[in-house]
């Protein structure tokens, strides 16, 4: 079910592209786009799951996904202007002798008085906590991995979970600046021990490199 949500969101934002298009879309426009995105997600899942999503089960899932998409688009409509600049982008990161293939759900570009900022986003349908990015052995290293290993013209200025759960829609994360996305705190508030965003990236690089070296040398201590 989480994969269905990821597929649906990728399709929605590949068509919408930015907040400006969402803002002027009519209810009918959104309903047509949602129906298309849900059908695309179910069709892709059907290739792997066979008959599991056909009949009544498929119809229940179709209704659930459409309701979730409707609520999420309305939630994002209330955000200040942003542009989605990457969707399902794959990237190889090498740390401590180990190469990890990371697939980014999404990256937004947000205009600020200090210039454009870029925030990487990971969709979550279950529990999500930024504490899972911290410490010597982070439990959820995907977004820190991307922030550390990103190569390209756009430096990463923030990382966020997008919580897509009926009745609990929100962003949670940490960033270089205040107010990039509601719910994404500046690093000084989210993790004071890290100091600032640049020092947080250095700390992540050190922790993830140590994990890579341990893995490469067979360290399997519980």
**CA 189 to CA 218: how far, in whole Å?**
36
Q: What is the spatial distance between Cα 92 and Cα 149, in angstroms, rounded to a whole number? A: 8
Q: What is the pTM of this model?
A: 0.90
CA 2 – CA 163 distance, rounded (Å): 11
Q: Give the residue ranges of DSSP H helices in 89-196.
A: 142-149, 187-190
pLDDT tens digits, 106-120:
999 999 888 899 999
CA distance 151 to 14: 22
Q: What is the pLDDT of residues 58-101, one digit of tens each?
A: 899 999 999 999 999 999 999 999 999 999 988 888 999 999 88
pLDDT digits (tens, 9 = 90+) for 175-193: 998 888 988 999 999 888 8
Helix (H) or strand (E) holding 171: strand 168-175
Find out whether 105 and 9 touch, Cβ atoms under 8 Å.
Answer: yes
Lay out the sheet containing 83-95: strands in order across. Answer: 83-95, 98-110, 117-124, 158-165, 168-175, 184-186
Task: Place 49 in a pLDDT band, splitting at 50, 70 and 90.
Answer: low
H-run or E-run covering 185: strand 184-186
Tokens standing for residue 35: 């129906």
* Whole-number percent of the chain with pLDDT over 70: 98
Residue ranges with strand state E in 41-146: 83-95, 98-110, 117-124
Q: Do 164 and 41 contact (CB within 8 A), yes or no? A: no
Q: Which has the closest alpha carbon to 45: 62, 28, 30? A: 62
- pLDDT category, 50, cuts 50, 70, 90? low
The structure tokens listed for 4 are: 């269905």
Q: Which residues pair with 122 in a beta bridge?
A: 161
- CB–CB of 45/7 below 8 Å? yes
């Amino acid at each position: 079910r989480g994969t269905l949500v990821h597929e649906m969101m990728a399709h929605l934002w590949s068509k919408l592209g930015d907040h400006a298009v969402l803002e002027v879309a009519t209810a009918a426009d959104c309903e047509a786009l949602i129906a298309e995105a849900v059908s695309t997600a179910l069709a892709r899942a059907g290739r792997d799951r066979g008959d599991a999503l056909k009949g009544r089960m498929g119809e229940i899932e179709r209704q659930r996904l459409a309701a979730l998409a409707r609520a999420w688009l309305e939630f994002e409509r209330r955000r200040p202007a942003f542009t989605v600049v990457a969707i399902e982008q794959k990237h190889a990161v090498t740390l401590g002798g180990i190469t990890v293939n990371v697939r980014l759900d999404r990256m937004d570009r947000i205009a600020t008085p200090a210039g454009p900022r870029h925030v990487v986003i990971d969709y979550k349908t279950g529990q999500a906590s930024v504490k899972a990015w911290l410490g010597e052995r982070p439990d959820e290293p995907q977004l820190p991995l991307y922030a550390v290993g990103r190569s390209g013209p756009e430096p990463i200025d923030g990382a966020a979970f997008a919580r897509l759960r009926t009745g609990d829609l929100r962003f949670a994360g940490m960033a270089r600046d205040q107010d990039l996305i509601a719910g994404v705190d500046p690093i000084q508030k989210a993790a004071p021990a890290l100091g600032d965003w640049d020092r947080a990236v250095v700390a992540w690089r050190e922790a993830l490199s140590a994990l890579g070296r341990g893995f490469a040398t067979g360290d399997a201590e519980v």
